[in-house]
Structure 1
């Protein structure tokens, strides 16, 4: 939800995930004070000490215990990935697994420093890939996680059915007055999620000369709540949103067609994010590992390299967490019990 979800994503949601998602999507299960403190430490070190030497995770298990530390991004789809991977690492491969919630960019710093071993869903951060993979070699690409992500602007289907032309960005100003809120003033509201997401929405509003104000809900969870409230009252809304996302099952939405995404637009955005004037890209979501972990030859690294599932799989777990109120651990357990035909393919062959 940069998700980043990257404009270049390639998203440089950038996204950036990262045109964008950075999906917070959160909804995130509660964690202890020590974990919160650790996440804060990661974020601070990520912002200011990216070149520090490798440091051990503060959550490392006792000596001789097989241990893995996974980064949990702030959107629920990322939490779903980790929930299932964690359950299988612990119950099938005998690992102790720690999870740490870190925002998108600081997560790369933490991964480079060895504070976390793996990121299981990235929406595209070309600058970070250049710095840590190609220049420093401290991070290694882990391949796709099987899910294709897409960020865009969406309106509820019940409104689009009454006003089909609203799905073309050129007609959005025509409907701005219907989308005014107390937060957007005399302009229409474009609802975004967390301010930590790397998006180009403000640039798009400006460059496309739209009479809208970007309003941040504060988190993915808060954004979902607002969307659900609008839908319950059958009110119109325009929102930054992304796929995969379980909420589509409850609130059908239609994407607004923005100017087509092009490589030229992406390159322009890389040089100046404020110059972006095209749609977000469609992005195969990627995994990244700390290089030492990737080369360790452990069953954990082999398993995580093999980890890849479908949008439907991820949405199934996400909906259990976000809509049904299950803990991430319980949701992961239920999915694993139901889909052995999927996850057994991820286990290292010698297991």
Structure 2
């Protein structure tokens, strides 16, 4: 760990030590509440804030790592009790989970998100017609996106495979001369996005917000069928499990964050060396009145 990262973790620890927390309540269960982690700092931070708050209330918590698409089934089966990571950019997965009668929607997290094909400003000069997706029918556009490993095809850096992107299907359906290259992880995707922005090069990849790299001054999203610029992130829970923890459900229903808070926390995790749990506790130290208002009244 670098000296900078050590200092940041020390400051986070000092902030936590200053927290004035209520006496731990007597929870309805001593079994850990199983929460969803996907390995991406945005979604994991949201889940960690909820997890660290209910820990302060007296619950035990276990963070369960799962693929995004698989975690809906995990909530249905009770392998995960609660998720605050049901992105509505793919609403069909949430709808299918709710239709089983085993999963309940506890409302939005408050975090407005967007994801889709994101391109840097430098690509526009080669692709007249952007942001409309038909610009990728232009050979000059494809040439600008080509790389040594994909030429003569253009290179598109997709989300990790488990994020259930429809990019490959769309490229095939429309006959676009683009090679769909899946990222190995969220971190790998972010590395490519940041490198393209820093180098000011023509680039297209799976973008998502909130994020500390992406903003509308550096690039834009491709307008293609199904793209929606504003989407909710919902809180879902296994009905059988959540029926046993009414106080945790009370906190879940009150829980709300902003996209700006998530973006700031992502920066602290991705660039500051904090774990998502540390970032959540740091947020709690700075927003004590906010999360205490989520707690059940004595």
- After TM superposition, the score normalised by the length of structure 1 is 0.69
Aligned pair in 2 of structure 1 residues 70, 199: CA closer, same or farther (>3 Å)? same
Look up the SS of the partner of 2:260 in the other structure.
helix
1:308 equivalent to 2:265? Answer: no
Residue correspondences, number? 268
Aligned pair in 2 of structure 1 residues 227, 144: CA closer, same or farther (>3 Å)? same
Aligned pair in 2 of structure 1 residues 305, 192: CA closer, same or farther (>3 Å)? same
Query: Which residue of 2 is the match for residue 138 of structure 1?
Result: 102
1:254 equivalent to 2:220? Answer: yes
How far, CA to CA, are the matches of 2:97 and 2:165 in structure 1? 22
How far, CA to CA, are the matches of 1:198 and 1:64 in structure 2? 34
1:111 equivalent to 2:66? Answer: no
How far, CA to CA, are the matches of 2:131 and 2:196 in structure 1? 18
Aligned pair in 2 of structure 1 residues 131, 163: CA closer, same or farther (>3 Å)? closer
Q: CA deviation at 1:110?
A: 2.0
How far, CA to CA, are the matches of 2:286 and 2:126 in structure 1? 40
Q: CA deviation at 1:347?
A: 1.8
Gaps of 5+ in 2: 1-27
Query: Which residue of 2 is the match for residue 228 of structure 1?
Result: 194
Look up the SS of the partner of 1:196 in the other structure.
helix
Q: CA deviation at 1:333?
A: 1.3
Aligned pair in 2 of structure 1 residues 98, 297: CA closer, same or farther (>3 Å)? closer
Contact 2:109–2:257 (Cα < 8 Å) also in 1: yes
How far, CA to CA, are the matches of 1:89 and 1:319 in structure 2? 24
Gaps of 5+ in 1: 1-62, 262-278
Query: Which residue of 2 is the match for residue 33 of structure 1?
Result: none
The CA deviation string for residues 45-85 of structure 1, in whole angstroms up to 9 with x for no partner, is xxxxxxxxxxxxxxxxxx96363110112322111112211
1:323 equivalent to 2:289? Answer: no
1:95 equivalent to 2:43? Answer: no
Q: After TM superposition, which residue ranges in structure 1, 4 or more long, deviate above 6 angstroms?
A: 161-164
How far, CA to CA, are the matches of 1:314 and 1:248 in structure 2? 13
Contact 2:284–2:291 (Cα < 8 Å) also in 1: yes
Contact 1:193–1:222 (Cα < 8 Å) also in 2: no
Aligned pair in 2 of structure 1 residues 333, 161: CA closer, same or farther (>3 Å)? farther
Query: Which residue of 2 is the match for residue 296 of structure 1?
Result: 244
Aligned pair in 2 of structure 1 residues 113, 168: CA closer, same or farther (>3 Å)? closer
1:79 equivalent to 2:52? Answer: no
How far, CA to CA, are the matches of 2:52 and 2:175 in structure 1? 48
The equivalent position to 1:180 in structure 2, one of 146, 157, 175, is 146
1:219 equivalent to 2:185? Answer: yes
Aligned pair in 2 of structure 1 residues 132, 247: CA closer, same or farther (>3 Å)? same
Look up the SS of the partner of 1:342 in the other structure.
helix
Query: Which residue of 1 is the match for residue 23 of structure 2?
Result: none
Aligned pair in 2 of structure 1 residues 113, 203: CA closer, same or farther (>3 Å)? closer
Aligned pair in 2 of structure 1 residues 163, 344: CA closer, same or farther (>3 Å)? farther
RMSD: 2.6
Query: Which residue of 2 is the match for residue 151 of structure 1?
Result: 115
Aligned pair in 2 of structure 1 residues 157, 325: CA closer, same or farther (>3 Å)? farther
Q: CA deviation at 1:235?
A: 1.6
Greater length-normalized contact order (CA 8 Å, ≥ 6 residues apart) = 2
Q: CA deviation at 1:127?
A: 5.2
Look up the SS of the partner of 2:109 in the other structure.
strand
Query: Which residue of 1 is the match for residue 210 of structure 2?
Result: 244
